[in-house]
Amino acid sequence: MIILGLTGSIGMGKSEAARGFHRLGIPVFDSDAAVHKVMRRNGRAVPRIAHEFPDVVTAGVIDRQALGRHVFANPASLRRLESIIHPMVRDERDRFLKRMRARRQPLVVLDVPLLFEGGGNRQCDYTAVVSAPHRVQRARVMARAGMTAEKLAGILQQQMPDAEKRRRADFVIPTGGSRRQSLRVIRGLVTMLRNAPKNRHRQHHHG
């Protein structure tokens, strides 16, 4: 089974690319959805978060805005939160991979926003990054509700620069043009990876 890691900075069109793979019948593990799952009402992470941040949980529900305020400008709080959530998301991912292997899937996609930053690329046979011109990225993100230039700057600071991601990735999926154009690239990638050799550089991805 070939594991393709899919990543990209905020506003680059990663969700759209993930939907493209899904439409072509490729199973996709969405790490953001896994985060939501463990943090939703009575999710696995709730008791641990309630213990660490008592004022953000009421009746089994996390107040995401209050939690966001705790971690936004506080690296130590963010690390505490990540130490709770990341192992749970890894468990979800490992269960997904186990299920897919049992079904003898030839190709699966791990959709992970901070793939390179978190070292998740070491679990992948190949990696693909979605990329669009900076002005397109900025316009997309600034159109989101509640987004400010300060917030965007803070998010980008936590993410590896797009140029570095493109350098590290095996494949680049351009998302600055039409949806059809991106889907054509994804379709070509799927065809190629279904016949690709396995485990080309897992564990030592580009040094």
The mean predicted confidence, pLDDT, of the chain is 89
Q: Is the pLDDT of residue 199 over 80?
A: no
pTM, whole model, 2 decimals? Answer: 0.86
DSSP state of 144: S
Q: pLDDT tens digit string along 140-165?
A: 999 998 888 888 888 888 788 999 99
Calculate the dihedral angle through the C-alpha atoms of 158, 164, 165, 169, rounding to the nearest 10 degrees.
Answer: -150
DSSP state of 159: S
Burial bucket for residue 15 (CB in 10 Å: 0-12, 13-18, 19+): middle
Helix (H) or strand (E) holding 67: helix 64-72
Q: Is the pLDDT of residue 73 over 50?
A: yes
CATH architecture, domain defined by 1-27+105-207: 3-Layer(aba) Sandwich (3.40)
Q: pLDDT tens digit string along 19-29?
A: 999 999 999 99
Instruction: Find the angle CA(135)-CA(138)-CA(140) to the nearest 5 degrees.
Output: 110
Q: Is the pLDDT of residue 195 over 70?
A: yes
Helix (H) or strand (E) holding 6: strand 2-7
Q: Is the pLDDT of residue 203 over 80?
A: no
Residue ranges of the chain that CATH labels 3.40.50.300: 1-27+105-207
pLDDT (0 to 100) of residue 191: 94
Cβ-proximal residues to 19 (8 Å cutoff; 6+ apart), any chain: none
- DSSP, collapsed to helix, strand or coil, labels residue 126 as strand
CA distance 172 to 127: 9
